[in-house]
Structure 1
Amino acid sequence: MSVVRTPVGSAERGAARQTVTISYAGFNRAWAAWMGDRLERRGLRVVLLRWDSPADTPLVDLLRDLKLAEGRVLIVVSEWYFQLGPRTHEEWNAALREVVAPDPARFAAVSVTTASIPTAAAVLAPANLTNMGAEEAERRLLDRLDLPADPLPDSADGLRRGPRFPAAMPEVWGGVPRRNTRFTGREALLNEAYHLLQGAEPGAGVLTLYGMSGVGKTQLAAEYAYRFGSEYDVVWWVNAEKRVTYRRVLAELAPKLGLSTGAEYGERLRAVRDALRRGDPYARWLLILDGADEPEQLWDLVPAGPGHVLITSRNPEWGEHNSRLLDVRPYNRQESVAFIRRRAPRLTEPEADQLAEALEDLPLLLDQTAGWLNDSDMSVEAYIDLLEGGVDQDVVKVSADFPLAFQTAWSILLNKLRETVPESVALLRLCTFFAPGSIPVRLLKEMPLDELPEQIAGLLNDPLLWNRAINQLRQYSVVRLESHEAAIDEGVPSGESIYLHRMVHQIVGKDMPPEDRREFIDVVRRALAAADPGRATDSRLWDQYAEIVPHLKYADVLYSTDRSVQRLVLNCLRYMWFTGEYSSGIKLGERALAAWRQLFGEDHPRVWELTYHYANLLRSGGHYRRTEAIERAAVERLRRERGEQDLDHLRMASGLAADLWGLGRYEEALELTERLYTVYQDLLGEQDSRTLNALNNLGFSLRLLGRYEETLDIDRRTMEARRQLLKGRHPWTLFSETSYAIDLRLLGRYAEAESVQAKSVRDHRLVMGPDNPQTLRAEHNLALCQYRSGARDAAGRLFARVLERYERKLGETNAHTLAAAVSQSCYAREHGDIDQAREAGESVVARYEMMLAEGHPFLAGARGNHALVLRNVGERDHAHALIEQSLADMTAAVGERHPWTLGCAVNASALRNLVGDPESAAELSRATVARAVETLGRTHPLTLSARVAYAADLRALRERRQAEKTEQEALSDLEATLGDQHVHTISARARNRPFWDFEPQAS
């Protein structure tokens, strides 16, 4: 049949003359958007009309309705256009002959598919746009509409940036699952998601698709990426079930964006977030966070900027973190029926409706069940009878979220799998002893195969059988490949993972014979043990531990008697301590202690080692009293049974000393750390890492007692020895660098301290990562160095960042968080909002009161700091009472010559003067100067502050000559020590009364 081509508009008059209505299936929206943009640039009016095909409306009527559209109707031909409904080719052929054939001039078409389409579609004479570039596709489009293909003027073409040519991928595309060619419906959700994101203000384009498990959130997000991806320059998919995985995958975007960074993923992550925020090099980006069920763990890492973030989650609490929400519910019945008929063409529409009702329209179950029903000769009625016949009290329901009893449905599916590829059932059951979600199957493929059960050894050792099992599970949508770029027939390469839905994981785990359970759990335990990197102190291996830890619970490793599995547990606890995962580590340690005491008894060496690691985590979490009770009992028992030179006893005693630090019992801790260092020296020599740990602990005990010169010498020796023994970037070496810089700062050597700490911070970030507690300790000290040196703006910004990350990582009551909160509140008092400082100070005192016993020096110091806030807001009497209490408590806790007590005295003398007691103020200042000179030296910054304060008190007593002499001598020493332009020198010259901020030293 010859087709008469009519120019656009010839069939209508007036406004329609310059109109083209583009009719397209939602699946092909990117093509419609691109064509519409190319036509609008040439002055045409374009109407985009998404084609829908309700099954209850005859096709002939739908096509006649389409003829009512304005102008020429351009149909985007694809298999999707003809499958909606779904309709048979025979139905389409009849409708096209009846409606289109008599009036071909109203219609034009372009084809974007190579798949089979109804033969009568030839009446549309579609121009083929597949397998060609954008310029040729545009030329053919224009030719089909009888429009001139003259080049557009540069000015017209450059007015705006239109959609990308759909056959061309975005500049950066990664991780997106393969497009689901069976995707059905969801048009309203997709359109709403698109408009919510497109209409968002810059920096606020965050949308969460939330809903129950199995409802199709991931498939919806993937379809969004394909349908609208041409409008973005960057589309990046991230598995966001775990914070560590999210961080790593987002960091992998750095080289794709052309960012110049080091190899450490923390550095790459920062660069990526900054590039997305700035929109440089790409402003049109789409980031998809899949499976982000714990917003509290991830919200701070969601990039801001001109692009869009699409989140899938079961948790609607994302709405509290600046995200719009879109509720994803099960299919409506029409969508369910259409999906089932596409998945299982042999089923009729009434059968599809019956099946959808039985499975409550849940997409995951529809996909799995329809898939195997299509391959089976079982009728839908028979299947539903089986399903309903199994619903009794013995059937396990998955959870309250799933009112339908799935156990029977899954039994049917598993039977089908057993009949075809029985190894696929073995593999599926094996996977349930990993955590649900991403299953690192390479751990199975890489483990030694000796002595494995026959069915598992055969599966792991035969690539063809392995691929066949994987593909069988994928065919029924039981698992999906995490490798999104591999072709379907490539199986699962050794470096890949498969994804097992949480619901599937739960059901399969309950439907397993006891003998399989025993065999499979042992296999997974061995796989995890074989994957143990073996060095929890090596930060380069922390990603590997982060991958292993979530699976420990599901493999029930705590009840294994395998020594390698037990060693894995200990290494994971050590890793969790190094990386600040204290809460999770404490839970694991508690369960492990209960299990191992039951397995081995109280006195087994493994139990003692486990107790040590558990106590470290407890202490780091701030549970000093609990830890002290545990370790004191262990120390006494080991001393009685093994003697004072036993290494387990010494290690427990070292932990006990750290507990004493936390409890404020510094003299007792010093006595213990001195003895331990001597014993370690005698037993192991000076250059053993355990001896150096003991030397480090001795230094910290001395610092807590204010003996800063001695501490500096010890920390320098420790640092240099660790550099020789452990090398420069070992965590312990980096820890010593920060300790050394703290000592320099506490001695008033601010410039030197800042130089050492700035370099160490860079190394910490590179080696430990930006949010590791040890890195935050280094950054906190750097901020304090900057503050003392006078770089107050830089210090303020860093104080705020450190505190926010401490709170997120360790919680608000951790000792390090509180130390950072003290610094932030002091900074706010002098350079920020005094009301904010007051609120922060009250919060710090309240948290210390909750955590610590009355009389603890940290509590006394925090109250002293808060007294300064009260002074600044005019509450003199309250401030005076509080500082006097602080001074008395601090004196009782650490003695009258401790720097902390001297600092409290400097503040107390100021308050005494302020409330009208200059004689008492001067007497306190005189005594403070004498003690400070004796303890810290004449030119220490705290001594200088005391001398300046004393001069002010003498002036208040009208002893002008003595005041002038004292002041001039102090100013001269200030200029010589800190420089004549240092902020302290300038302030003293202006006769501003000095103050002192208490700084808790958290262990």
Structure 2
Amino acid sequence: MSAVIPVQPPDGPGQIGSPRWEASGERAVAVDANAGIISTGPGATIYTAPAVQLPPAQTVAGPRGQRNHNLPRPPSALFVGRDDDVIRLGTALAAESEPVTRILVGLGGVGKTSLTLQYAHRYRAEYTTVWWITADNPDAITAGLAALTSRLLPDLATPATTNALAEWAITWFQTHPGWLVVFDNADDPSHLAPVISQLDTGRHLITSRRTAGWHHLAAPLRLDVLSPSDAAELLTRTAGRNAVSEKPAVAELAMELGHLPLALEQAGAYIHNHAITFTAYLERVRRYPARMFATAYAGSTDRRTIARVWRVTLSVIADRDPLAVEILRTLAWFAPDRLPQDLITRIDDDLLAVDDALALLAGYSMITLTPPNLRVHRLVQAVARTADPADPLRTEEAILVARDRAARILLDSLPGGGTEGESGGASIAVPQWADWRSLRPHIEAFIELVPHDEDTTDIAVVLHETSRFLLDQGHVPQAARYSERALAARERVLGSDDPDTLSTRNQLGNIYRAAGDLGQAIPLYERTVADRERVLGDDHPDTLSTRNYLANAYRDSGRVDRSIPLYERTLADRERVLGRDHPETLISRNNLASGYRDAGDLGRAIPLFEATRTDAERVLSQDHPRTLLFRNNLATAYEAAGDLTRALPLYERTLADRENLLGATHPDTLTTRNNLAGALQDTGDLPRAIELYERTLADSERVLGHEHPRTLLVRSNLADALSQAGDREEARSLWESVLNDSERLLGADHPDTLLVRSNLAGALFDAGDPARATALWESVVADSERVLGDDHPDTLLARGNLARAGRSVELSERALADCVRVLGDDHPRTITARRDLALAHDAAGDLLRAIAVCERALHDSVRALGADHARSRAVRAGLARLRRGLIVMVPPLDGATSRRVLLNGG
């Protein structure tokens, strides 16, 4: 057997169709021209082809007018939101010099081909020829060029080889300027470089998913997703309906699809063909992502789907670098935007390998590198974390491995190394806030994607630590959700008695207490104390810590009879176990002093605060943050006692030291500045007090945020100062604003919200609107009794305000009796309640009884607070008026109808 096989030699434009012949097999021969037939050996076969001489390319003219194009389809009637991009593309191609090369890059499905096709149709008349070539591999490029020769020489080009036809087309382009060649979906710059280097008389427009490697040709033009409004329009037009009534659902679905044109058209076609709502489609995408991403539906103008488009790209990436695909699967579990690149470097010890993998992903537009961050399209993430049995790169096992890896990356990236604070209660250090804020969106995205019942120990730590940060930032409801979920995970995985479980339960108690939900906080603390005593022992530091938190909760609830003995016991145990000078012992001593102060027992509070301050200066140093904390709290006790001669200098010194040590905008600095403003307000220096409040508010809004609870409290205090300065309309407006924000952010039942509502009622009362003020105070009393309990100090304050508003002797007597029973005769609020009872008697016409009660109030105030205390001065003024027989209500100078908040800062 022998055979003669034609072998094509290198082609030239003048010698096309002239093969070189080779023969193989026994007695085989070959001919170089058709000069006859030679046969040799049994079964010998000879193949020949006639030589074809094509005309010189420069002599062949193209069709006249706009007919010489091969655009694959008409422009889409659904072309939305890209007019500016068409203009931008036209401007880029309009350079006077030739050749001009422009590269349009972007994610698969973003609309590069559609935009290019729209441009080519719109501006076809400006070019002699518009030729479209699919450029995803070298053979396709050659075939695309050869197709032009077939168009121009339909009769002569048939016998020629593809390579020969392509070479002739290149010569034709070189000799006929004014054309546009589109290389669509180019994958490798090296495939195009040899062709473009020869085409130097026209315009080249390249579309590619790759962003890298084009620098030697031109700087790429990036095409991004549609704007939200344009995405919504494309979605509704594709669905073929007027969606005015469904506008919110359309916007939500468009955002879920990442404003990606291909996904929007795919969704619109499904909605149209199946006659369902936009909300129903969104529910299907979330419930059946693999099927929805992978299926094209009848009626769609494009049979591609996002899953198919990206599967091809991922296969190419996987062949080049499997680590890149692992990274992409991991990125799928984070937020799509502003992901720190150094977070991903934790995925592998080989940093150079990670760099290469990220560069490869960016090169194929699967991610966008914007140092120091990166971003991923949300649909790329959705596909990458959706298992598909038909896709070997998206197996269930691989996706779960990526999820666990993402959890570990988050855990390792937690500011502070992910180590839990003492009993989960220590505050997050302020220098770590920036890192936390950067990481928070990615934690939230991850937590949202993982089912609760699949939380691991790593996820539980992330939840627990994030709840601490959220609590510090004032995001109490979200902190509670995370802490509750962490507790459920730890109880399920570790058991109820594990120390980590108890730590989370303690943290959850802290959150409930911050929310003012003492009905949940106190039982949870009590249970945790009992369990820690049983598991860890009575003297374990964590046991003592929870006992301290429980005492705080008792104090918040006004249960002085339970808080002070527990503070005393905890202090004694800490002194015995940790030593008198241990920082936690000093904290216990400070808290006991705060308990005495809040109970009105300033005779014990002040010496204890002073001793704590002295010990802290000796043990920790004068400038230690805790020393400054104790000094701030000592100043609050001096102020409560009316001793402003000692309170003011101490506030000023503490403020200066905190500004020097911590900075002018540190939260602790803001706390002391707020308190100094309050002390100045007590002295009557309202201009300076208001100036300090305004400065503190501006700094608090900038550092903590407009919605932080401390910011709201400073706004409320500013309103109180404005009211006292006579600017009651501004104060009322400010309190209304604070109340709206408190109800929205903290809830209607939060103690701070109740306090602001009470203050607003006072402003309305002072403004001559007693009916509305009374209604507000009635709601505050009812809510305080329900939320805080009958005996909470704020409940007593609200009840006293309501009694004052109604000039009711009966209600005033009840308010006084409650204050005596709960707080004692010498507490400032008891003194105010007695003064208010005197005013009620006066309003009822019993002037002698009013004077007698007011005299008792003055005696108690001078004895307990001193003759120069603001309350003593207010009671004395009221008594003088009563003695002159004036039947008036004295606007309180002591903040009785409104309450200014002193911040302990710890």
2:386 pairs with 1:510: yes
- Name the counterpart of 1:921: 850
Partners of 1:832 and 1:633 in 2: CA distance: 49
Q: Which of 314, 325, 341 is equivalent to 1:441?
A: 341
Q: Describe how 1:425-440 pairs up with structure 2 within 5 A.
A: 425-440=325-340
Partners of 2:127 and 2:891 in 1: CA distance: 93
Partners of 1:316 and 1:776 in 2: CA distance: 41
Equivalent pair of 2:339/2:442 in contact (CA under 8 Å): no
Q: CA deviation at 1:428?
A: 1.9
Partners of 1:732 and 1:844 in 2: CA distance: 35
Partners of 1:502 and 1:644 in 2: CA distance: 51
Q: CA deviation at 1:955?
A: 3.6
Can you list the C-alpha shifts for 1:313-332, whole angstroms capped at 9, x where unaligned? x9979xxxxxxxx989989x
- Name the counterpart of 1:481: 369
- Name the counterpart of 2:684: 790
Which amino acid in 2 is paired with 1:863?
A: R
Equivalent pair of 2:870/2:893 in contact (CA under 8 Å): no
Partners of 1:504 and 1:359 in 2: CA distance: 16
Q: CA deviation at 1:570?
A: 4.3
Note closer, same or farther for the CA distance 1:89–1:894 as it changes in structure 2 (3 Å cut).
closer
Note closer, same or farther for the CA distance 1:692–1:836 as it changes in structure 2 (3 Å cut).
farther
Partners of 1:721 and 1:849 in 2: CA distance: 40
- Name the counterpart of 1:106: none
TM-score normalised according to structure 2 size: 0.58
Which amino acid in 1 is paired with 2:788?
A: L
- Name the counterpart of 1:851: 787
> Which blocks of at least 5 consecutive residues in structure 2 are unaligned?
1-81, 91-113, 131-173, 181-218, 237-245, 275-279, 296-304, 388-393, 422-426, 698-713, 718-734
Partners of 2:235 and 2:664 in 1: CA distance: 36
Equivalent pair of 1:558/1:596 in contact (CA under 8 Å): no
- Name the counterpart of 2:528: 634
Partners of 1:735 and 1:671 in 2: CA distance: 23
Q: CA deviation at 1:672?
A: 0.8
Partners of 1:935 and 1:707 in 2: CA distance: 8
Which amino acid in 2 is paired with 1:445?
A: T
- Name the counterpart of 1:670: 564
Equivalent pair of 1:861/1:900 in contact (CA under 8 Å): yes
My pick for the range that moved more, 599-608 or 807-816, is: 807-816
Partner SS state of residue 619, structure 1: helix
- Name the counterpart of 2:316: 420
2:428 pairs with 1:537: yes
Which amino acid in 1 is paired with 2:328?
A: L
Note closer, same or farther for the CA distance 1:405–1:25 as it changes in structure 2 (3 Å cut).
closer
Q: CA deviation at 1:858?
A: 1.5
Partners of 1:432 and 1:729 in 2: CA distance: 47
> Which blocks of at least 5 consecutive residues in structure 1 are unaligned?
1-23, 33-79, 97-115, 123-177, 190-207, 217-313, 318-325, 341-354, 363-384, 388-392, 450-456, 484-495, 959-986
Partners of 2:662 and 2:779 in 1: CA distance: 30
Q: Describe how 1:811-826 pairs up with structure 2 within 5 A.
A: 811-820=747-756, 822-823=758-759, 826=762
Which amino acid in 2 is paired with 1:645?
A: D
Equivalent pair of 1:715/1:740 in contact (CA under 8 Å): yes
Q: CA deviation at 1:650?
A: 1.2
Equivalent pair of 1:819/1:1001 in contact (CA under 8 Å): no
- Name the counterpart of 2:293: 406
Note closer, same or farther for the CA distance 1:753–1:995 as it changes in structure 2 (3 Å cut).
closer
2:896 pairs with 1:997: yes
Q: CA deviation at 1:811?
A: 4.2
Aligned residues: 626
Which amino acid in 2 is paired with 1:406?
A: F
Equivalent pair of 1:447/1:530 in contact (CA under 8 Å): no
Q: CA deviation at 1:426?
A: 2.2
Note closer, same or farther for the CA distance 1:30–1:509 as it changes in structure 2 (3 Å cut).
closer
Equivalent pair of 1:897/1:932 in contact (CA under 8 Å): yes
2:739 pairs with 1:739: no
Q: CA deviation at 1:427?
A: 2.1
Partners of 2:458 and 2:575 in 1: CA distance: 31
Partners of 2:288 and 2:439 in 1: CA distance: 29
Equivalent pair of 2:871/2:894 in contact (CA under 8 Å): no
- Name the counterpart of 2:840: 911
2:375 pairs with 1:467: no
Partners of 2:755 and 2:580 in 1: CA distance: 33
- Name the counterpart of 2:59: none
Q: CA deviation at 1:801?
A: 5.8
Q: CA deviation at 1:890?
A: 1.8
Which amino acid in 2 is paired with 1:444?
A: I
Partners of 2:649 and 2:395 in 1: CA distance: 64
Note closer, same or farther for the CA distance 1:1002–1:663 as it changes in structure 2 (3 Å cut).
farther
Can you list the C-alpha shifts for 1:666-720, whole angstroms capped at 9, x where unaligned? 1211011011111111211233221122112101210121022432333344455
Partners of 2:338 and 2:863 in 1: CA distance: 63
- Name the counterpart of 2:126: 92
Note closer, same or farther for the CA distance 1:407–1:330 as it changes in structure 2 (3 Å cut).
same
Q: CA deviation at 1:924?
A: 1.0
My pick for the range that moved more, 935-944 or 909-918, is: 935-944
- Name the counterpart of 2:376: 500
Partner SS state of residue 86, structure 1: helix
Partner SS state of residue 712, structure 1: helix
Q: Describe how 1:4-19 pairs up with structure 2 within 5 A.
A: none
Which amino acid in 2 is paired with 1:531?
A: S
Q: Describe how 1:653-802 pairs up with structure 2 within 5 A.
A: 653-719=547-613, 721-722=615-616, 732=626, 735-750=629-644, 753-754=647-648, 756-757=650-651, 778=672, 781-792=675-686, 794-795=689-690, 800=715
Which amino acid in 1 is paired with 2:317?
A: V
2:817 pairs with 1:935: no
- Identity within the alignment, %: 20
Partners of 2:633 and 2:462 in 1: CA distance: 31
Can you list the C-alpha shifts for 1:321-372, whole angstroms capped at 9, x where unaligned? xxxxx989989xxx99xx99xxxxxxxxxxxxxx98546389xxxxxxxxxx
Q: CA deviation at 1:86?
A: 3.2
Q: CA deviation at 1:596?
A: 0.7
Partners of 2:788 and 2:281 in 1: CA distance: 52
Which amino acid in 2 is paired with 1:888?
A: A
Q: CA deviation at 1:613?
A: 1.6
TM-score normalised according to structure 1 size: 0.53
CA RMSD, 1 decimal: 5.2
Partner SS state of residue 120, structure 2: coil
Can you list the C-alpha shifts for 1:915-956, whole angstroms capped at 9, x where unaligned? 211121122122223322332234433233333333333443
Note closer, same or farther for the CA distance 1:415–1:726 as it changes in structure 2 (3 Å cut).
farther
Partner SS state of residue 687, structure 1: coil
Note closer, same or farther for the CA distance 1:215–1:906 as it changes in structure 2 (3 Å cut).
farther
Equivalent pair of 2:777/2:802 in contact (CA under 8 Å): yes
Can you list the C-alpha shifts for 1:873-909, whole angstroms capped at 9, x where unaligned? xx54xx5444333223222322233221111111221
Partners of 1:783 and 1:840 in 2: CA distance: 28
Q: CA deviation at 1:773?
A: 8.1
Equivalent pair of 1:558/1:566 in contact (CA under 8 Å): no
Q: CA deviation at 1:734?
A: 5.5
Partners of 2:489 and 2:549 in 1: CA distance: 23
Which amino acid in 1 is paired with 2:384?
A: V
| Larger Rg over CA atoms | 2
Can you list the C-alpha shifts for 1:645-671, whole angstroms capped at 9, x where unaligned? 222221121111112112211121101
Note closer, same or farther for the CA distance 1:327–1:523 as it changes in structure 2 (3 Å cut).
closer
Note closer, same or farther for the CA distance 1:665–1:542 as it changes in structure 2 (3 Å cut).
same
Partners of 1:636 and 1:790 in 2: CA distance: 49
Equivalent pair of 1:904/1:996 in contact (CA under 8 Å): no
Which amino acid in 2 is paired with 1:480?
A: T
Partners of 2:482 and 2:315 in 1: CA distance: 40
Q: CA deviation at 1:816?
A: 3.6
Can you list the C-alpha shifts for 1:781-821, whole angstroms capped at 9, x where unaligned? 34532432224465486654666376665444333444455
Q: Describe how 1:10-409 pairs up with structure 2 within 5 A.
A: 26=84, 85-87=119-121, 91-93=125-127, 181-182=222-223, 358=266, 360=268, 397-399=284-286, 405-408=292-295, 409=305
Equivalent pair of 2:781/2:799 in contact (CA under 8 Å): yes
Partners of 1:562 and 1:399 in 2: CA distance: 23
Partner SS state of residue 603, structure 1: coil
